[in-house]
Structure 1
Amino acid sequence: MSMVAPSDNTGAAGAGIHVVTTPDPSAELQDPETPESVLTRFGIMTLDENFTEFTVVASMPVGRLVNPFTGMPTVGPLAILVDDVGGRANFYRRGSGQWTVSSELTVELSPDGIDSLQAAPDEPVVASSRPLGPHGATLLAICTLSHRGSTIGGGTVRTVAIAGGPDGPIQRGPDTLVRTPQTSLADLMSTAPMPTEAAAYRLAQRPDSIINNLIGIVHGGVSSAGLELVASAAINHGQAEPLRTASIRVNFLRPFFAGAQSRYEGTALRVGRNSAIGDAQAVGDDGKVSILARVTGYR
């Protein structure tokens, strides 16, 4: 079967595509939406999977990652972990011969979440996902995020099951990025800050097959993290006291292909005394808006 990107009206494909088209349990051990290359790049470790209850537990180190614009600790990369565990919980429930397209992703952080990460930055965050409701028009998974044994947040991933799909994951070469404790988040994501224009923050998304999913689309968790980075930078523009991200809400509109012109753009919708709202969009190499996000921050 040929590999075809879903159309704009399929329910959105920004978070990628799950593509194993048979219910073979051995094939289900790796969800093509979050291929092994993404797990390795970001240090995600699977701790437990239950193919009867459709639960997934995985961990990821995020405590030392910072926003490339502000230099402050960021929770944006938690979207990568949420997308992984939530996407897998949904993917494992698909019907025979189906693949899944992610349409929405959310991340919620507790008021003390960032404090916990800063207090023990080398301790990974653990995400535990499970199904929320039956397989209907969509599949919905919810997860909790814990750090040092305490719950610091949660998230959801919604996907749409579609009949058919590509034959299997594309092959990619070895990862040439050597990760060290000094490797920046921007390098892990293959991104680069662009000049700020009128308090609008832009982050270039460079092509990198390691962070792509099956059909060459930027992994949905990675793109969600990019959207949080620019939105957070925008709401913190000129602020003496930082506004910490409390929630991230993402809608995937169409496939997000990286190229010379692909980027994330973030602006502040409102900045108040104790809270702020920022909007962000991912613009593909074709100039079309592929993903939208809204970020809320509090002091």
Structure 2
Amino acid sequence: MTHPPGTARARAQTLDRFLEVARGGSAEAAFRVASLGRARPDELTGSMPATALRTGADGWPAVGGLGVLVDDVLGFAIIAAHPALAWSVSAEISIDVLGPLPREGELHVTARASQSSRGRGFASCEVRSDSGALVAMGRQHGRYVAGPAERPTTHVDARAGSRDAVQLSETLGLDEIPHGGSFALRLHDPRRWANALGNVHGGASLAASEATATHAAAPGNRALRTTSVAISYLRPAPVDAALTFRAQPIHRGRSVEVLEVVGSSGGRVCTHARVTRQSA
């Protein structure tokens, strides 16, 4: 995309300030997101250790663990595409898994925006292993909003209590709760996952949705693993009240499962996700 001449340096400085806000986030610290930055003027990059994904209840590396990194890199690609570098919030995010997620080494994400208007933007990304193998692809629809100059005071350290976590649900601080016959996990302290706007980080909501689906999947069926997650953000999830994720199976078969996961706070739906699990 092209921008007015003579503004490249000012744009780069502004984007660097935005990136600095994100780098100080507790969600980024918990998943050890690193190297958020620009590879080229039209590309945003980031990385994380594969071990920071944790595992799902099925024993496989958790696809939801990619949520924070993918959300950050896609979001900043959308920000960089706006002529005035407006802040953006996630409207939809999807992750499609193309190969086994590694259990060691680094995961590297590169994103580029392909559409930007006054109100909305769109970006896609690739997730690769250290060897260069393409393991996943992501996309995001974003909405432009007024952004913060610095992190909100609700920010707390999400690393506390998660350093020794094995499962993704432990990292997030999710607990199982009774929920009228369906399976539900509750995020009791969303403050740990506040983003720069003071709401629950979209990548954390994606992670919690995928973790809930994995826990709710057919018991003992370890032959299936998550192959795609698609989540819509219907309203900001507040950080001052518990957030509940309820999973409902849509289809259960030998080779494929599809689950719907609804995230709500105070009786109001905040997120709606569809998680597909297929045979390896």
TM-score by length of 2: 0.83
1:210-267 CA distance string (max 9 Å, x none) = 4211332110001001111112332x22343432111111100001124554211111
- Structure 1, gaps ≥5 residues long: 1-22
- Aligned twin of 1:105: 93
- Aligned twin of 2:28: 39
- Aligned twin of 2:114: 132
How far 1:166 moved relative to its partner? Answer: 4.8
Partner-residue secondary structure (3-state), 1:83: helix
Distance 1:278 1:35 in 2: 33
- Asked if 1 retains the 8 angstrom alpha-carbon contact of 2:62 and 2:168, the reply is no
- Asked if 2 retains the 8 angstrom alpha-carbon contact of 1:217 and 1:255, the reply is yes
Higher-helix-fraction structure: 2
Q: AA paired with 2:121?
A: L
Question: Are 2:224 and 1:243 equivalent residues in the alignment?
Answer: yes
Which structure has more RCO (C-alpha within 8 Å, separation ≥ 6)?
Answer: 1
How far 1:89 moved relative to its partner? Answer: 0.7
Partner-residue secondary structure (3-state), 1:92: helix
Partner-residue secondary structure (3-state), 1:26: helix
Query: Structure 1 pair 25/97, CA: closer, same or farther in 2 (3 Å)?
Result: closer
Partner-residue secondary structure (3-state), 1:58: strand
Partner-residue secondary structure (3-state), 1:96: coil
Q: How many residues align?
A: 265
Question: Are 2:270 and 1:264 equivalent residues in the alignment?
Answer: no
Distance 1:139 1:79 in 2: 19
- Aligned twin of 2:84: 96
Distance 2:85 2:64 in 1: 34
- Asked if 1 retains the 8 angstrom alpha-carbon contact of 2:255 and 2:278, the reply is yes
- Asked if 2 retains the 8 angstrom alpha-carbon contact of 1:34 and 1:219, the reply is no
1:87 corresponds to which of 75, 80, 96: 75
Alignment of 1:155-194 (within 5 A): 155-162=138-145, 164-166=146-148, 168-171=150-153, 172-173=155-156, 177=160, 180=163, 182=165, 184-194=167-177
- Asked if 1 retains the 8 angstrom alpha-carbon contact of 2:67 and 2:204, the reply is yes
Distance 2:85 2:123 in 1: 20
Partner-residue secondary structure (3-state), 2:209: helix
- Asked if 2 retains the 8 angstrom alpha-carbon contact of 1:230 and 1:267, the reply is no
Query: Structure 1 pair 210/262, CA: closer, same or farther in 2 (3 Å)?
Result: closer
- Structure 2, gaps ≥5 residues long: 1-9
- Aligned twin of 2:267: 287
Partner-residue secondary structure (3-state), 1:43: coil
Distance 1:183 1:232 in 2: 15
Distance 1:91 1:205 in 2: 29
Distance 2:167 2:278 in 1: 25
Query: Structure 1 pair 27/170, CA: closer, same or farther in 2 (3 Å)?
Result: farther
Identity of matched residues, %:
22
- Aligned twin of 2:7: none
- Asked if 2 retains the 8 angstrom alpha-carbon contact of 1:62 and 1:75, the reply is no
- Asked if 1 retains the 8 angstrom alpha-carbon contact of 2:11 and 2:85, the reply is no
- Asked if 2 retains the 8 angstrom alpha-carbon contact of 1:46 and 1:59, the reply is yes
Question: Are 2:55 and 1:66 equivalent residues in the alignment?
Answer: yes
- Aligned twin of 1:143: 125
Question: Are 2:139 and 1:152 equivalent residues in the alignment?
Answer: no
Question: Are 2:191 and 1:204 equivalent residues in the alignment?
Answer: no
Distance 1:134 1:127 in 2: 20
- Asked if 2 retains the 8 angstrom alpha-carbon contact of 1:267 and 1:280, the reply is yes
Partner-residue secondary structure (3-state), 1:267: strand
* Bigger Cα displacement from structure 2, 170-179 vs 248-257: 170-179
- Asked if 2 retains the 8 angstrom alpha-carbon contact of 1:263 and 1:282, the reply is yes
Q: AA paired with 1:170?
A: P
Q: AA paired with 1:191?
A: L
- Asked if 1 retains the 8 angstrom alpha-carbon contact of 2:34 and 2:48, the reply is yes
Distance 1:156 1:229 in 2: 20
How far 1:197 moved relative to its partner? Answer: 5.5
How far 1:202 moved relative to its partner? Answer: 1.2
